[in-house]
Amino acid sequence: MLPRRRASGFTLLELLAAITIVGLLMAVAVPASVRSYESMQYRQAVRDVITALASARYGAINSGHAQDVAVDPVARTVELNGDITQIPDGFDVAVHAARELNRERLGVIRFYPEGGSSGGGIDMERANGSGVRISVDWLVGRVSQETYVVD
């Protein structure tokens, strides 16, 4: 008579332990990855806005013609020479610009060929109250940013 072979495989207890471990890992990993993705979106949106403003300044100096950056806080867009940057959902946008240059609901920051600008800024705030204030110096047209947290 042949010896009896033992059945190979996992017991129900082993499968239950493995599923529990995977569930715990997912409970930790998914929220962390969502926060990481939102943070990445936020940083990219800030970079895109700063790039548009700096490009407008550079374009004005090189071309000898004023360059306008139009910001629509309702649609959350920034436009320079027909190129539109969309700021993702979940961010509140406010624009501070010279009243004489604004059009309808658009705030306009103008850069002049001499290197200066009309001045102003753009505030981008997250749902949690933190955000960044991007400022444009009226005298030299320098673009800078400052982070803040609303209490």
* CATH code for the domain in which residue 16 is found: 3.55.40.10
- Counting the structural domains of the chain, the total is 1
Domain-embedded: residue 109: yes
Domain-embedded: residue 2: no
Domain-embedded: residue 1: no
Predicted pLDDT at 32: 84
Question: Which among 117, 101, 12, 6 has a CA at the least distance from the CA of 56?
Answer: 117
Domain-embedded: residue 17: yes
Domain-embedded: residue 41: yes
pLDDT digits (tens, 9 = 90+) for 86-143: 999 989 999 999 999 999 899 999 999 999 999 999 999 998 889 999 999 999 999 9
pLDDT digits (tens, 9 = 90+) for 71-80: 999 999 999 9
Looking at residue 130, the DSSP 8-state letter turns out to be E
pTM: 0.80
Domain-embedded: residue 81: yes
Domain of 83? 12-149
